[in-house]
Structure 1
Amino acid sequence: MPLHAIAYCSRAVAGLTLHQVNELAKDAAAHNLIAGVTGVLLTDGNRFLQYLEGPEEGVRLAYARIINSRSHMDMVELGRSSGGPRRFPYWPMRWLPVEPEDLRIAIVSDWRGLAYRREVDIDQVPTGIERAAELVNPFIGQEPPG
């Protein structure tokens, strides 16, 4: 069964707190665990970049919940893919704080097909998924916030 993935960005609704983001991530993690979906939600407190991966039906259900969420707006799908390795197997869902400029750079990076490169040349511009991985790596193995 091929792995499916979707990445999108959006803007938080006015007044959304990081405590509320934490609760949303916990709720998503509970649903994603059952659906076999893993992923990460990056936020600077105003914008989101989320990446989901898993079986087609699980990703479809998780994405439908996201589309219908009232915690964000101005949603833009950055890319989707079928096949390839699981890139964020660490959590069924977890939110991570990132600096606004780092998030902006990740969002405007190339997400077409969620390009996977076996080897990266030092002169190549990182893809969106590679930039997201750079932002996630420092948090691997750390406990999530309260």
Structure 2
Amino acid sequence: MPLEALVYCSRVATGITVDQINLLVTDAASHNLTADVTGVLFCDGLSFLQYIEGPADGIAATYARILAATSHTAIEVLGTRSGGARRFPQWSMRWLPLEQVDFRITRASEWRDLARRREGAMFQVPTGVDRMATLVRPYLN
């Protein structure tokens, strides 16, 4: 079954607390287990950036839930991809806090096609996927 991936950015709804984010992620992780979706959610207190991966039907169901959620607004898809391997097979969902400067740099990175920097390419700016991998690395087992 081919793997799909999607990354989006959104604004945190006014008044959302860390405890509410924890509950939101717990609920998402439960749904994602059923939908065979994995991923990571970054938050700087003002915005979310979420990467999800899984089968097309699982991504469609998960993204429908994301669009219906009242925990955020101004959802913008940054990139999508078909094919490839899972980047987060161990996380049905995990959220990681980011400093605002790290969030802004990651958000502004190149996300088109969720590409990684080509190995051996000199002077190439890291892509969003490269930055995401760097931010997540300390949390991987």
TM-score, normalised by the number of residues in structure 1: 0.92
Unmatched runs of 5 consecutive residues or more in structure 1: 142-146
> Counterparts of 1:126-137 in structure 2 under 5 Å?
126-137=126-137
- More displaced 10-residue stretch of structure 1: 37-46 or 81-90: 81-90
1:138 is matched with which residue?
A: 138
1:107, distance to aligned residue in structure 2 (A): 0.7
Q: Which amino acid aligns with 1:69?
A: A
1:91 is matched with which residue?
A: 91
Q: Which amino acid aligns with 1:89?
A: P
1:118, distance to aligned residue in structure 2 (A): 5.9
RMSD: 1.2
Unmatched runs of 5 consecutive residues or more in structure 2: none
Percent of aligned pairs sharing the same letter: 55
- Contact preservation (8 Å) 1:7, 1:50: yes
Q: Does residue 80 of structure 2 align to residue 77 of structure 1? A: no
CA distance in structure 2 between the aligned counterparts of 1:73 and 1:121, rounded to whole angstroms: 37
1:120, distance to aligned residue in structure 2 (A): 5.0
> Counterparts of 1:107-122 in structure 2 under 5 Å?
107-117=107-117, 119=119, 121=121
CA distance in structure 2 between the aligned counterparts of 1:26 and 1:86, rounded to whole angstroms: 20
CA distance in structure 2 between the aligned counterparts of 1:93 and 1:54, rounded to whole angstroms: 12
1:144 is matched with which residue?
A: none
1:84, distance to aligned residue in structure 2 (A): 1.2
Alignment: residue pair count: 141
1:122, distance to aligned residue in structure 2 (A): 5.1
TM-score, normalised by the number of residues in structure 2: 0.95
1:104 is matched with which residue?
A: 104
